[in-house]
Structure 1
Amino acid sequence: MGDYLPIVLLALAGFLIGGVYSTWKTARGFSIMLAVAAVMAIVGGIGWMIYG
């Protein structure tokens, strides 16, 4: 599972970015929360690839 975790995190980030895009006009607060989660998933995925 350790080899696939960065890919899973980056896929999750893509899913979350899609959520940000679709909710931006209707629910800004929730959209910002999704954006923060997407950034965390991206940083975690890249960090896992580099240091893991």
Structure 2
Amino acid sequence: MAPYGTVSNEMIGILLLALAGFLIGGVYATWKSVKLMAIVLGLAALVAAGAAVAWFVG
């Protein structure tokens, strides 16, 4: 068990996936009004999801 105040490796991957989901929600919310911002958020979501996959695999 990890000492108090530390974050496990699995938790970091889960937090990255949660961040990707949050960003995808931002894409959905901004798509009709500000397409450029939605694209930027989508790219950030892809990076976060890719980092989560790489974190779990690596």
Q: Same fold (TM over 0.5)?
A: yes
What percentage of residue pairs aligned between the two structures are identical? 45
Structure 1, unmatched stretches of 5+, are none
More helix, by proportion: 1
Structure 1 runs of 4+ off > 6 angstroms? none
Q: Distance in 1 between matches of 2:51 and 2:11?
A: 13
1:24 aligns with 2:31: yes
Greater RCO, 1 or 2 (C-alpha within 8 Å, sep 6+): 1
1:48 aligns with 2:45: no
Aligned residues: 51
* Matched residue, 2:11: 4
Q: Distance in 1 between matches of 2:42 and 2:13?
A: 18
Q: Which has the larger radius of gyration?
A: 2
